[in-house]
Amino acid sequence: MTQKHILSGDLLVFHDDPFEVPPEDAVQIQSDAALLIENGKITARDSRDILIAAHPEAAHHPHPNRLICPGFIDAHVHYPQTAMIASWGKRLIDWLNTYTFPEEMRFDHPAYAAEISARYLDLTAAHGTTTMASFCTIHPTSVEALFTEAAKRGQRIVAGKTCMDRNAPEGLRDTAQTSYDESKALLEKWHGVGRLSYAITPRFSPTSTPEQLEALGVLWAENPDCLMQTHLSEQVDEIAWVKDLFPNARDYLDTYEAFGLLGERGVYGHAIHLEPREIDRLKDVDAALVHCPTSNTFIGSGLFDMAGLKARGVSTGLATDTGGGSSFSMLRTMAAAYEVAQLNGSVLHAGQLLWLATAGSAKSLHLSDKIGTLEVGMEADIAILDLASTAAIAQRYNNATHHWDRIFPTLMMGDDRAIAEVWIGGAKQILS
Fold: same for 5-70+373-428 and 72-364: no
Q: What percent of the chain has pLDDT over 70?
A: 100
- In this predicted model, what pLDDT tens digit does every residue of 347-394 receive, in sequence order? 999 999 999 999 999 999 999 999 999 999 999 999 999 999 999 999
Domain ranges of the chain: 5-70+373-428, 72-364
In CATH terms, the superfamily for domain 5-70+373-428 is: Urease, subunit C, domain 1 (2.30.40.10)
Per residue in 6-30, pLDDT (tens digit) is 999 999 999 999 999 999 999 999 9
CA distance 290 to 103: 24
**CA distances from residue 409 to 154, 361, 387, 393, 413 in whole angstroms, order as listed:** 32, 22, 8, 6, 6
Q: pLDDT tens-digit profile of 173-230?
A: 999 999 999 999 999 999 999 999 999 999 999 999 999 999 999 999 999 999 999 9
Q: Return phi, psi of residue 95, to 5°.
A: -65, -40
Q: Is the pLDDT of residue 48 over 90?
A: yes
How many whole angstroms separate alpha carbon 63 and alpha carbon 350? 21
pLDDT at residue 1 in the model: 53
**Model-level pTM greater than 0.95?**
yes
CA-wise closest residue to 288 among 312, 311, 320, 266: 266
Judge if the upstream peptide bond of residue 351 is cis by omega within 30 degrees of 0.
Answer: no
Beta strands in 211-325 (DSSP E): 227-232, 266-270, 288-291, 315-318
Indicate the SS3 state at residue 117. helix
For residue 3, the 8-state DSSP code is P
Topology at the third CATH level for domain 72-364: TIM Barrel (3.20.20)
Q: How far is CA 199 from CA 71, 76, 309, 336, 344, in A?
A: 21, 11, 24, 27, 32
188: left (phi over 0), alpha (psi -120 to 50) or beta: alpha
Give the integer Cα–Cα distance in Å for 428 and 35. Answer: 14
Residue 425 has pLDDT above 80, yes or no: yes
> What does the pLDDT read at residue 2?
73
On average, the pLDDT of the chain sits at 96
More confidently predicted of 217 and 299: 217
Q: Which of 384, 284, 290 is nearest to 70 (CA)?
A: 384
> With bands split at pLDDT 50, 70 and 90, how would you rate the model's confidence at 325?
confident
pLDDT for 416 beyond 80: yes
pLDDT on residue 20? 96
pLDDT in tens, 252-262: 999 999 999 99
Q: What is the mean pLDDT of residues 58-73?
A: 97
The amino acid at residue 315 is S
Q: How far apart are CA 292 and CA 269, in angstroms?
A: 7
pLDDT at 27: 98
